[in-house]
């Protein structure tokens, strides 16, 4: 509650109200402050005041922390700037937009379709959008490069309605709302997604925002990344701004609030949040018993943001001016959000009785007002003059990000059935009476007869092409640099590295043992030195970069920080000293996987948002990647991101000794559910080099026919192994497609099996191959499965083709490849059974799977692998069991193997190194 309230005399145990024993001196101090602001400006005054507070603390003068301000507009009416637009003209086409947005959703509920939509969110935010569209949001043709605008997902009908007036969408297009496939098949229009989905409308939407909380996170890192591009000398982003439109209910999401400190710490004054405070979530009040605006103000101020509150429209100004006792301000502060919601769900008489009449002084203020005049009082977020003043102040503020808390009404102007109602978010159509009432309030030139002809299909409205208001609207966008939102991909091709850059992983590790994580980092170091793409690579680490071997990049490539490094690092004298720089290349986000995923998404879509391809390489603990931030990677896929996600310290048994929370046995499964990823589990360094090269070629190489909009997920391990040199006849196609043979069956007689494994399990099956031959007379061929998921994806594509083309039947790549072998197929990995089961339908012959299901635990690698029965001895025993079932060996050999290998004894395991990272 505000410290101006008489009911709150204490904050942090300190008095907020004290007796003034020298009013004259107090007046002189206030006059001095006024003079300072007038002569030197608010930023200088802020600095002086902060300096005074610091000095007061040194002298043990304790002051309460004021986290909130009164429940009124931050910008005083006398400080409001001149509004440069034509008020009447802009109001005219705002009305057209409101009408068409509501009509589009209503028509989407027509019989036979019934796909619905949301009306009330845009109704509350239309003014917030339109002030930006007419005066602030710069398009991609602006000389400064254009702004990044994150629109509220549920308000998408407003964006479509504006694009219709702008001539970018037709009536047929609008009637395809939420019918992405069925509508184009039945009409001339395009199908349009329900919310901002770039993957579904890749010439229009830029940022997917309807998974609430992810928009704010990405917006923060987008603003930071703009500074990064500028510091790197890749693009001048000094005139670009990031705007994020959010709901007050959305601010409940931990992602909405959890990264605010980064924006303040990095002084992102190119970032503006606009929180639409209509006091309602999707199905009721946000803080019915409290005040969400005050809560958010305190939260943002505490995080270091500049806060601008836009609470009341211009009609309230005369009341505030007449309120000498500040009774109205006090009453506003004492009124709960649930009551404010009820006021807008009723009428002027209700507001007079239940608001103004609660204090005789405020009742006196409106005693000569009619109920209609009281009802006409607007909230600040619905008054374009107040919003303009806030936006202008935000764009001029330096040194901090800004949040604008705009007080609005959900369902504004839609009528009493909608405005402020708890159910307004779920109301998807207007009745005939609703339509007529809305038409009258918006002055839309449509007759009763037109509405009555088919109330389920009310007409859209677009004026003649030479209408002055329409021409004004289009001219405003022309001057601001083009339409918003708009997504562009210029198809830029990069000068990619030649063979030499990749040769570092070709020769193997010799007598040393090297973990695949370290092998990948070796390649990364070569790529960042490349003259063509080196500076476009964005290494991203949430923390423990030294675990991944990235500390060698600190002194040369440095860690990016907008403020540089203003301290002497403790390891300054060491060769691998920690270094931060305004032109640094590494994005180090701290212990913040959500922040890292956000910057990955931003960097991975820079080719479209900035026209500058960047190549994010996000290296993380695999367990804390897909599992923890899968929704963000889904949004990245929606946004058509490109980049490498490196799940280091992968596997359920490989991260020796760490325990349940660290053991990843399932990230390839989660990755499989996201079709925007090609997920690989390479075993050897030479496989990594071909996969990385393929990714770069696919995204930015010339003459590429494959879909470029895909991300690559590579799981790599911290266990040191012998890295073999690349064979002369290496099957590069097989590595990319998902499977290649690394050892054929030994010559001779005897039964055959085929052994499949991925990642760190490949050395076990190589060991199992020798054990089968030497101890049991069984010949085994060995296959490295670099991608279970890509094999499945290709097979499913073949099945779909075969289903639709009975005269043209094809065979999946996996089936063709394994068809050359003989005998049962045994598969293992350091992951759940379900990972290997991804390919089961297309494996020729019998297929037997081993897997590490369940929670991980702290132990040695050897013991853990024996516990899960995935090690070399288990592979041998499973192979013998499969052969016994086919009658190719005696059934007794299975029991012999179990006894020989002491298979139930975890201390008898032999598969795996006890060494740490190498």
- 192 strand-pairing partners: 177
Q: What is the DSSP letter of 460?
A: P
The rounded distance, in Å, linking the Cα atoms of 613 and 491 is 9
773-785 pLDDT, tens digit per residue, is: 999 999 999 999 9
User: Which secondary-structure segment (H or E) carries 11?
Assistant: strand 10-11
Q: What ranges in 269-406 are assigned the alpha helix state H?
A: 292-303, 317-322, 327-334, 337-344, 348-354, 360-365, 371-375, 384-396
Residue 395, phi then psi, degrees to nearest 5: -70, -20
Confidence (pLDDT) at 8: 45
Question: For residue 247, which of 95, 73, 71, 407 has the smallest C-alpha distance?
Answer: 407
Q: Hey, what are 274's tokens?
A: 């606009």
Dihedral sign of CA atoms 439, 441, 445, 449 in order = positive
Q: Averaged in consecutive runs of 10 residues, what is the pLDDT profile of the chain (918 residues)?
A: 40 54 90 90 86 84 78 96 96 97 94 90 95 98 97 96 98 96 92 96 97 96 98 97 96 94 97 95 87 95 96 97 93 93 89 95 96 95 97 97 96 70 59 91 96 96 98 98 97 94 95 94 95 96 81 88 91 80 93 94 98 96 89 97 95 87 91 97 98 98 95 96 96 98 94 97 97 97 98 98 98 94 93 98 96 93 96 98 97 97 96 74
Q: By three-state DSSP, how is residue 571 classified?
A: coil
Contact 157, 144 (CB under 8 A): no
The pLDDT value recorded for residue 344 is 83
DSSP string, 516-527: HHHHHHHHHHHH
Buried b (16+ CB within 10 A) or exposed e, 66-99: ebbbbbbbbbeeeebeebebeeebbbbbbbbbbb
pLDDT at 413: 82
Give me the DSSP letters along 813-827: HHHHHHTTS-S-EEE
Confidence (pLDDT) at 443: 96
Q: Count of alpha carbons within 13 Å of 531, Cβ hemisphere only?
A: 2
pTM above 0.85, yes or no: yes
Residues 770 and 16: their CA atoms lie apart, in Å, by 80
Cα 399 to chain centroid, rounded: 25
CA distance 20 to 3: 16
Residue 853 pLDDT: 96
CA 716 to mean position of chain CA atoms: 24
Among candidates 351, 356, 339, which has minimal Cα distance to 288? Answer: 339
Which regions of 683-757 does DSSP assign to beta strands (E)?
Answer: 711-715, 721-722, 739-743, 752-757
């Amino acid at each position: 509650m505000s410290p101006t309230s008489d009911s709150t005399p204490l904050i942090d145990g300190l008095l907020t109200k004290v007796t003034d024993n020298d009013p004259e001196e107090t007046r002189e101090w206030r006059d001095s402050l006024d003079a300072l602001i007038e002569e030197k400006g608010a930023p200088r005054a802020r600095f002086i005041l902060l300096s005074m507070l610091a000095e007061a603390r040194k002298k043990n003068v304790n002051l309460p922390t004021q986290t909130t301000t009164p429940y009124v507009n931050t910008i005083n009416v006398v400080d409001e700037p001149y509004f440069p637009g034509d008020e009447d003209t802009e109001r005219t086409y705002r009305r057209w937009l409101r009408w068409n947005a509501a009509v589009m959703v209503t028509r989407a509920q027509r019989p036979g379709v019934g796909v619905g939509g949301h009306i009330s969110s845009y109704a509350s935010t239309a003014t917030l959008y339109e002030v930006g569209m007419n005066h602030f949001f710069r398009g991609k043709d602006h000389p400064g490069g254009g702004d990044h605008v994150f629109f509220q997902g549920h308000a998408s009908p407003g964006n479509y309605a504006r694009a219709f007036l702008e001539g970018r969408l037709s009536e047929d297009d609008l009637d395809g709302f939420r019918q992405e496939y069925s509508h184009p098949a039945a009409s001339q229009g395009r199908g349009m997604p329900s919310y901002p989905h770039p993957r579904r409308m890749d010439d229009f939407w830029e940022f997917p925002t309807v998974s609430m909380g992810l928009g704010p996170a990405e917006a923060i890192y987008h603003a930071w990344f703009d500074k990064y591009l500028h510091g790197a000398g890749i693009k001048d982003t000094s005139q670009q701004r990031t705007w994020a439109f959010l709901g007050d209910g959305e601010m409940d999401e931990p992602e909405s609030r959890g990264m605010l400190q980064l924006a303040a710490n990095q002084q992102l004054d190119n970032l503006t949040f606009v929180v639409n405070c209509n006091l309602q979530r999707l199905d009721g009040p946000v803080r019915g018993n409290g005040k969400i605006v005050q809560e958010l103000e305190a939260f943002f101020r505490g995080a270091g943001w500049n806060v601008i509150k836009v609470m009341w429209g211009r009609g309230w100004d005369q009341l505030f001016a007449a309120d000498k006792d500040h009774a109205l301000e006090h009453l506003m502060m004492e009124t709960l959000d649930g009551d404010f919601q009820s006021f807008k769900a009723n009428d002027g008489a209700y507001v007079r009785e239940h608001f103004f009449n609660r204090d005789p002084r405020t009742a006196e203020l409106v005693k000569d007002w009619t109920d209609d005049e009281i009802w006409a009082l607007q909230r600040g977020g619905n008054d374009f003059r107040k919003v303009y003043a806030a936006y202008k102040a935000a764009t001029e503020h330096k040194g901090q990000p800004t949040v604008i808390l705009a007080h609005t009404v959900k369902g504004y102007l839609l009528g009493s059935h909608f405005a402020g109602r708890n159910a307004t978010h779920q109301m998807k159509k207007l009745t005939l009476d609703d339509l007529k009432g809305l038409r009258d309030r918006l002055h839309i030139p449509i007759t009763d007869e037109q509405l009555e002809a088919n109330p389920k299909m009310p007409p859209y409205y677009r004026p003649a092409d030479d209408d002055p208001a329409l021409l004004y609207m289009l001219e405003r966008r022309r001057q601001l640099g083009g339409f918003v939102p708009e997504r562009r991909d210029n198809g830029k091709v990069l000068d990619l590295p030649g063979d030499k850059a990749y040769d570092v992983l070709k020769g193997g590790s010799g007598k040393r043992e090297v973990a695949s994580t370290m092998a990948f980092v070796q390649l990364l170091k070569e790529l960042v030195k490349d003259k063509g793409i080196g500076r476009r690579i964005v290494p991203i680490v949430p923390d423990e970069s030294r675990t991944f071997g990235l500390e060698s990049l600190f002194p040369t490539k440095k860690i990016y920080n907008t403020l540089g490094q203003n301290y002497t690092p403790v390891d300054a004298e060491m060769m691998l000293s920690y270094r931060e720089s305004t032109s640094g290349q590494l994005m180090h986000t701290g212990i913040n996987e959500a922040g890292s995923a956000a910057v990955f998404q931003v960097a991975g879509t820079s080719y479209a948002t900035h026209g500058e391809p960047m190549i994010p390489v996000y290296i993380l603990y695999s367990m804390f990647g897909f599992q923890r931030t899968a929704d963000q990677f889904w949004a990245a896929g929606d946004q058509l991101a490109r980049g490498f996600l490196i799940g280091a310290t992968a596997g359920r048994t490989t991260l020796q000794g760490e325990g349940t929370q660290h053991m990843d046995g399932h990230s390839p499964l989660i990755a499989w559910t996201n079709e925007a990823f090609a997920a690989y589990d390479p075993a050897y360094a030479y496989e990594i080099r071909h996969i990385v090269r393929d990714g770069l070629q696919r995204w930015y190489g010339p003459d590429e026919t494959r879909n470029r909009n895909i991300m690559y997920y590579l799981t790599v391990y911290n266990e040191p192994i012998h890295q073999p040199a690349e064979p002369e006849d290496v099957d590069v196609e097989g590595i990319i497609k998902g499977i290649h043979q690394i050892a054929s069956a030994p010559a001779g007689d005897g039964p055959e099996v085929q052994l499949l494994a991925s990642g760190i399990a490949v050395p076990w099956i190589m060991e199992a191959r020798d054990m089968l031959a030497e101890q049991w007379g069984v010949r085994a061929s060995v296959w490295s499965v670099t991608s279970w998921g890509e094999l499945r994806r290709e097979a499913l594509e073949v099945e779909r083709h075969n289903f639709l083309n009975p005269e043209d039947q094809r065979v999946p790549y996996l089936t063709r490849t394994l068809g050359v072998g003989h005998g049962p197929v045994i598969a293992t990995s350091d992951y759940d059974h379900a990972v290997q089961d991804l390919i089961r339908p297309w494996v020729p012959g019998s297929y037997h799977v081993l897997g590490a299901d369940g929670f991980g635990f702290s132990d040695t690698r050897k013991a853990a692998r024996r516990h899960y029965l995935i090690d070399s001895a288990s592979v041998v025993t499973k192979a013998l069991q499969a052969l016994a079932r086919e009658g190719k060996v005696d059934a007794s050999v299975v029991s012999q193997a179990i006894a020989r290998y002491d298979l139930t004894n975890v201390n008898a395991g032999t598969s795996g190194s006890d060494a740490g990272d190498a």
